[in-house]
Amino acid sequence: MKVPWPAAFEDGDVRMFLEELEDVVELAGIRTDRGKLTTLRWLLKGSVERGTKRPGEDGVGRREGRLDRGL
């Protein structure tokens, strides 16, 4: 099984990748370590390439199909 590594891993610069990931998740409003780990796991599994949507991206909220109000 081939793991789809991000481009930063191809050069072997893992520290730079993690620093950039830290900046991106902070800008996205993810502040907890658990949230950061979830984001990293999501990226490494290739969810972005498969087009998997997160809750709220399709206009439907997390609870019982209510429309997302952008809050």
Q: Can you list the alpha helix ranges (DSSP code H) found in 1-71?
A: 7-10, 14-27, 33-44, 47-50
pLDDT value, residue 1: 47
Residue 21 lies in a domain: yes
In a domain, 24, yes or no: yes
Residue 18 lies in a domain: yes
State which residues form the domain around 21: 7-48
Q: Report how far residue 39's alpha carbon sits from residue 37's, in angstroms, rounded to the nearest whole number.
A: 5
Which regions in the chain score pLDDT beneath 70?
A: 1-12, 46-71
Q: Taking each helix axis as running N to C, give the angle between helix 33-44 and helix 14-27, from 0 to 180 degrees, rounded to the nearest 10.
A: 120
Coil/strand/helix, residue 53 = coil
